[in-house]
Amino acid sequence: MQTVDFQKILPQFQLKGEVAEVKPLGNGLINDTYKVVTKGDAPDYVLQRINNAIFTDVDLLQHNIEVVTRHIRQKLEARGEEDIDRKVLNFVEAQNGKTYYCDEEGRYWRVMVFIPGAVTFETVNPEYSYLAGVAFGDFEKMLVDVPEPLGDTIPDFHNMEFRMQQLREVMAADPVGRVAGVKDILDLFERDAERMCQGERLFREGKLPRRICHCDTKVNNMMFDAETGKFLLVIDLDTVMPSLFFSDYGDFLRSAANTTAEDDPNLDNVGFNEELFKAFTKGYVESAGEFLTPLEVELLPYAVELFPFMQAVRFMWDYLSGDHYWKCRYPEHNLDRSRNQLRLYQEACKREPMMKEFIASLKK
């Protein structure tokens, strides 16, 4: 593991005050994060090493974030919001005029102003699911009229046609000889592939717009005031990019509504939590309903079904490839993950009538 010379990195940014201490912060899986504590009344900061193995175009990544945070700040000002510095991320300019710096080792760094008195939660319950729906719907709503185009930080991230193409290519190559043993699952994927790829078709036909989405909608990507418990802001903006609206609505419910972990091999434990679905959907429709098209509202149940299906396909692709993308604790780990997500997809499909009825009730 490479050592970090903070005394070389931090002076590359236009920080206020004198640095007193630098210590690890959080448990993120992608970027290395540190809290920079300063002396006196100067703000504290968050230093982050950007994982450019995943986000290969750092300039594009930071451009997206700068455009989004600037636009959100303007929206909050127009609303007359108070305490705006705690409701939108603020990235510090480097000495080179950009919001990132590349060191001699080829590592990319950025700095944000630390938001005091703000906390995140890991709990997924109806209360926080509702707040998440409101928060991510409002996040999309504020970005409907972003004045300049954003790029794809991870191309084809939530593209179902691309994920099926990846699967079919590895099925044909069968590099580790696993295809014959999972033919039953592969047949199910092919059976439903055309229906699950309808989002991309509708986009090409001009019937669905691409919107600016967060693309990583989890409860712990929201921050709340530690004293009042009120929602402050959405964080972790690395995957903010143009996408179909499914990316925020469906992805949250894929993880939140599953009644067990996504790698639980006991499929009897896999279920669909209707209470969390209703809470998140109510919040999302309340805040996003004014800009969603009638077709997008109609396709909300499809979005719920799409994401476990897509994730099942992706886990199977990695299993057939030889387990190179996700870390595995045992040889069948990716296969168990794929079966788990396929069962969640099937459980969601069974509840399509319930979902449609509930969404219709929200529009009355």
DSSP 284-346: HHHHHTTTS-HHHHHTHHHHHHHHHHHHHHHHHHHHHHTS-SS--SSTTHHHHHHHHHHHHHH
Note whether 13 and 95 are within 8 A (CB).
yes
Distances (CA, A) of 132 to 121, 235, 245, 287, 346: 11, 12, 15, 11, 24
Helix, strand, coil share (%) of the chain residues, nearest 5 = 50, 15, 40
- Residue partners of 28: CB distance under 8 A and separation at least 6: none
Residue 147: how many CB atoms within 10 A of its CB? Answer: 8
Model confidence band, residue 364 (pLDDT cutoffs 50, 70, 90):
low
pLDDT score recorded for residue 4:
85
Judged against a pLDDT cut of 90, whether residue 57 lies above it is answered with yes
Q: What values do phi and psi take at 158, rounded to 5? A: -115, 35
pLDDT score recorded for residue 278:
98
Query: Rounded mean pLDDT of 269-297?
Result: 96
pLDDT score recorded for residue 327:
86
Averaged confidence pLDDT in the chain:
94
Q: 44, exposed or middle or buried, with CB in 10 Å at 0-12, 13-18, 19+?
A: middle
Note whether 216 and 250 are within 8 A (CB).
no
Of 134, 87, 132, nearest to 233 by C-alpha is 87
Given CA atoms 303, 309, 313, 314 in this order, what sign does their dihedral have?
Answer: positive
pLDDT score recorded for residue 298:
96
Helix (H, G, I), strand (E, B) or coil at 359: helix
Alpha helices for 58-213 (secondary structure H) = 58-79, 126-142, 160-173, 183-196, 198-204
DSSP letters spanning 33-86:
EEEEEESTTSPPEEEEEE-TTTS--HHHHHHHHHHHHHHHHHHHHHHT-S-GGG
pLDDT score recorded for residue 325:
87
pLDDT score recorded for residue 103:
94
Query: pTM of the entire structure?
Result: 0.90
First to last CA, the chain: 57
pLDDT score recorded for residue 182:
98
Determine the Cα–Cα distance for residues 73 and 263; give it in Å rounded to an integer: 39
**pLDDT tens for each residue of 235-281:** 999 999 999 988 899 999 998 999 999 999 999 999 999 999 999 99
